[in-house]
Amino acid sequence: MTFEALGLAPTLQTRLTELGYHTPTEIQTLAIPVVLAGQDLLASAQTGTGKTASYALPVIQRLLSSPAVRANQAKALILVPTRELAVQVADSLKSYATHSRLRVQAVFGGVKINPQMQALRSGCDILVATPGRLLDLFRSNAIGFKQLQILVLDEADRMLDLGFLPEVKSVLRLLPGKRQSLMLSATFSDDIRQLASSLLSAPQEVSVHPANSTATEVEQWLIPVDKARKNALLIAQIRQHNWQQVLVFCRTKQGADRLVKSLTAQQISAAAIHGDKSQGARLRALNDFHQGKVQILAATDLAARGLDIKQLPVVVNLDLPHITQDYVHRIGRTGRAGVAGQAVSLVCAEEFGELSAIERLIGQLLPRQAVPGFEPKQPLPESKLDLRPLKPKKPKKPKKPKVPKQA
């Protein structure tokens, strides 16, 4: 299969050749013709499968022949859950649209709103936005949707995880009913299907990987260790394996900051990204990591789906995630686009419950590799794979309003 066979315009084919892309991935092969045909799409694909290009390329092509965008308007809107993902998607769109006159703009919170308002004065063809900042801009009359043709909801499951559903619904009420809508998610949960039913019209459904599966290119294992010795074990592993670029996931912001201090004290360059960091600091850390100036990037789950690091070799779970599904998204940062990767988890006895839930989710036991000198004093219990089918989450009961006490 070629990009030409999928129906992409010659200008886009030329740009893909310049970027070194010659063969479409599976999700691109399935999704691009659907989007080009103007149909609604519900797609499930793991990170690292070329998901962004699967909608970005046909959206660009559909807009090439459309009328010029007017002031403070957008022709395509891409909603994403995090600032990092907004920057990543916008950069990809700008790269693909190099040979066109299409304007791409990203807007997100955590930075001053005035520069974003000024950037939207002349309108933009494709707007990438987080829901909260988009609503702020709309209320300030900086953006309107009279020309909107296409809506993309990317990483919809993450939107729900982060509690953005009310804001997403507020955005949907502002958009014209006659539009093409695309929705992409790592999983097809009941909540996702319910959202899709209200968002999409007779969508084509495509799924590249089974729900909750982990990338086959990722070698996974765990090392049992006491909680207090995790940082020391990580430092030993970095030196033993000569890891030059490692993404380390921590459960808390404080844990990420403590790890950076420990690594720096051992002359290992490190930086942290989490919600307490300013947008500028986070972007600098990511850029330094991309360029190899920083060896270790410590992140909370905020960044689990918002990073696109080419050929990242190693992901380390310093702490297992509270939300079981986040394990899949974390290790999806490596083993991308067919390139092999490694994912190692440092697991203490207190995390056995999280470990069991992860192993049940992915349908396999993680191999264990003890490291001499770091054997835990509190042993990690042996795992037994639970093969019972996972039950869907029960919907949360609405909170009852508090009744004031009688005087």
Domain ranges of the chain: 10-207, 218-362
The rounded mean pLDDT for the chain is: 87
What would the mean pLDDT of 51-62 be, rounded to a whole number?
Answer: 96
Cα–Cα dist 272/281, whole Å:
9
> How would residue 212 be classed by pLDDT, with cut points 50, 70 and 90?
very low
Distances from the Cα of 131 to the Cα of 92, 172, 287, angstroms: 20, 10, 25
Backbone angles phi, psi at 389, to 5 degrees: -65, 145
Q: Are 7 and 36 in contact (CB under 8 A)?
A: yes
CA distance 83 to 218: 26
Fold (CATH) for 218-362: Rossmann fold (3.40.50)
Q: Which CATH number fits domain 10-207: 3.40.50.300, 3.40.640.10, 3.40.50.2300, 3.40.50.720?
A: 3.40.50.300
Q: How far apart are the first and last CA of the chain?
A: 75
The pLDDT value recorded for residue 309 is 65
| Dihedral of alpha carbons 132, 135, 141, 142, sign | positive
Average the pLDDT over 80-98 and give the result. Answer: 92
Could you say which DSSP state residue 387 is in?
-
Residues listed for the chain: 407
For 316-375, write each residue's pLDDT tens digit: 999 999 888 888 878 877 765 555 789 999 999 999 999 999 999 888 899 999 999 999
- Residue 53 near residue 97, CB atoms below 8 Å: no
Bridge partners (DSSP) listed for residue 127: 77, 105
Pairing of strands 341-347, 314-317: parallel
- State the pLDDT at residue 388: 61
State if pTM tops 0.75: no
Q: Per residue in 236-248, is it b (16+ CB within 10 Å) or e — as a string?
A: ebbeeeebebbbb
Same fold, 10-207 and 218-362: yes
